[in-house]
Chains A and B, each alone.
Chain A
Amino acid sequence: MAETVLDIQNLAYRWRGPASFALTVPTFKVSKGETVLLLGESGSGKSTLLSLICGTILPDQGCVSIAGTDITTLSARARDKFRGEQIGVIFQQFNLLPFGSVADNIALPLRFAPARRSRVPDPMAQAAELCTALGLPEGVTKAKAAALSVGQQQRVAVARALIGQPPMIIADEPTSALDANSQTAFLELLFAQTQTYQTSLLMVSHDPRLGDRFDRVIRLDDIADVQRAAA
């Protein structure tokens, strides 16, 4: 059996606010190198689950283990560093610092993750290599991020998530800002890279048509129980 990268057990989280909202996840695992598509409608608690996995919010009970470390036992400072080391994050859009160069954007996580940094002897060369592998034009690393098209920006975000080979990539609807053709190209490149580096991929989407490329497709409702108080 493959090594487990993400392991969630008995997780319960309640959002304390005007609209009360509770999320429980009895168990959920992602193995090393596995690609998982998590389907859910908007407002189904996807973002909350991703925040719990990334450690920007803490569950009320249960544990979230990434690469064997239970992040709920870590301090806030250690969790932030751990996230930088272990997880590459790709957002829906506006992934990049618009004023920074492409190379700076790609190298950014290394600044906060010394272990990832140590795996990259030459960040600028690595950034250029990743850009080439992701089909970005030659010399793009020196361009300002804001000058790139949305599709190019998403690929740069992939390069940023991959640099220094974190064990896991979390992607939050990375294709929703792209048209159908770009979506296919983007996913092909993403899969090629995760396979090369044996990186686990947890991608969240509302679009079931993307599912056939993934090792596993899970509906959020199947692993989690979401409760909402009637407003």
Chain B
Amino acid sequence: MMVRLALASLMARALTVGMTILAIALSVALFLGVEMVRSGAKASFADTISGTDLIVGARAGSVQLLLYSVFRIGNATNNVTWKSYQDIAARPEVDWIVPISLGDSHRQFRVMGTTQAFFAHYKYRQGRSLVLSDGAIMDDLFDTVIGADVAATLGYRIDDPIIVAHGLASFAEHKDQPFRVAGILEKTGTPVDRTVIISMEAIEAIHVDWQGGAQVPGQSTPVDVIREMDLTPKAVTAALIGVESPLQTFALQRAINEYRAEPLLAILPGVALQELWGIVGIAETALFAVSAMVVVTALIGMMATIFSSLNERRREMAIFRAMGARPATIMSMLVIEAMLMAAIGALLGLLLLYIGLIIAQPILDSAFGLWLPIDAPSARELWAIVGVVCAGAIVSLVPAIRAYRMSIADGMMVKS
């Protein structure tokens, strides 16, 4: 009966109580949403590369190498010469090696030169391989395989022509060497979705007439001639390596890092990711703190609401006292009321979060390549809700103690 009366009492003050609950709901939705994006981003990053033991590139920061080679974020400061690449590839520890050549773009998407081995060895999300949804892996020099987002955004189908632009966000196009869409990959939720893949030779081919980052004026080698030329790459941006045995990973890493002919860097993707988390950790903590503070603010708002209701509820408290209720009972009623508000608010917040997730999921995916799965609430989220209810109880103690004092002073006689 007491809970029923508490609910009825809340209903009678529907407007202010509703506002308070809404504030709590929004704050909880924000808090859980931040948590979800955070863990989703982490999972999404961690799922992007799997099965690769080492990544090799020109010497730079390990996080930078990871970001540009796997996530297509930022740029390489330097390339690795073809000779060095071949030296590494020839080492006995190397089981497989896939070269990557970056630097050109098509519309808003990056172009990556690689070999057929990429499709065999690149793995994501616990060892899944790339699968073609349509067409075939590039066969001809001017064939491309495009990621799912590229195809979806630009509406490309098999055999459509593609003109690659020189550099990123550039107006200089490799107009003389148009490509053909040979294959379209299935969606992976990784940066591959937003990549145009061509062969290493093709990267060379489109740069035949270019020197020092600019097209040689008036020079345009016909495609037939290019096909006859030696298109062995001169450099690669990075390389993905699988080792024969995991035990050799560190030995190979050291050997590459101590390579004499050229300053190189070999990283373990997992370790570099950890380093990345270390860097973004502060921002993460700040985000967490801010969203937690929003919840605290909403709860303080609830405290203010209860405070302001106390005076008009003196009569109610006097009635309870006359019926034999102890001041402590009146105090606990206020705490129960606050917990009810916090619980309703928190559950509503969870509901808002799921509604928001259903709406935002495709937007986040297409805009940021961030796929947030819609799962049942985790234990962590349920604990957060329990935490909000407990915090609500603690916060409500302040007005409840005041009500306790008031009900002792008033007894059952209120002059009103």
Contact = CB atoms under 8 A, between A and B. Distances in A.
Contact of A104 (B5, B320, B326): B5
B323 A99 contact: no
B324 A85 contact: yes
B325 A57 contact: no
Contacts of B8: 97, 99-101, 104
B201 interface: no
A86 to B, nearest CB: 9
B376 interface: no
A47 B413 contact: yes
A27 interface: no
Interface string A85-112: 1000101001111111100100111011
Given A97-B5, A99-B9, A54 B323 contact: no
Given A84-B324, A89-B323, A99-B8, A104 B1 contact: yes
Nearest to A90: B322
A97 B4 CA distance: 12
A98 B12 contact: yes
Contacts of B318: 91
Contacts of A101: 8
Contact of A51 (B5, B324, B329, B413): B413
A113 interface: yes
Contacts, number: 77
Interface stretch (A66-74, A75-83, A186-194, A207-215): A75-83
Nearest to B411: A56
A50 interface: yes
Interface string B245-273: 00000000000000000000000000000
B319 interface: yes
Nearest to B326: A80
Contacts of A47: 413
Nearest to B413: A47
Tell me what chain A mostly uses at the interface: helix, strand, loop, or mixed. helix
Interface string B387-416: 000000000000000000000000111001
Contacts of A107: 1
B321 A80 contact: yes
A184 to B, nearest CB: 26
Given A51-B413, A54-B412, A56-B411, A94 B321 contact: no
Given A54-B412, A100-B5, A104-B5, A111 B12 contact: no
Interface in B307-364: 315-316, 318-329
Given A100-B8, A104-B1, A95 B319 contact: yes
A47 B410 CA distance: 11
Given A100-B8, A111-B323, 13 more contacts: A51-B411, A54-B322, A80-B321, A94-B315, A97-B319, A99-B8, A100-B5, A101-B8, A104-B4, A107-B1, A108-B319, A108-B320, A112-B329
Interface of A: 47, 50-51, 54, 56-57, 76-77, 80-85, 89, 91, 94-101, 104, 107-109, 111-113, 146, 172
13 contacts: A51-B412, A77-B326, A80-B327, A83-B324, A84-B323, A89-B322, A89-B412, A97-B8, A97-B316, A98-B12, A108-B320, A112-B323, A113-B324
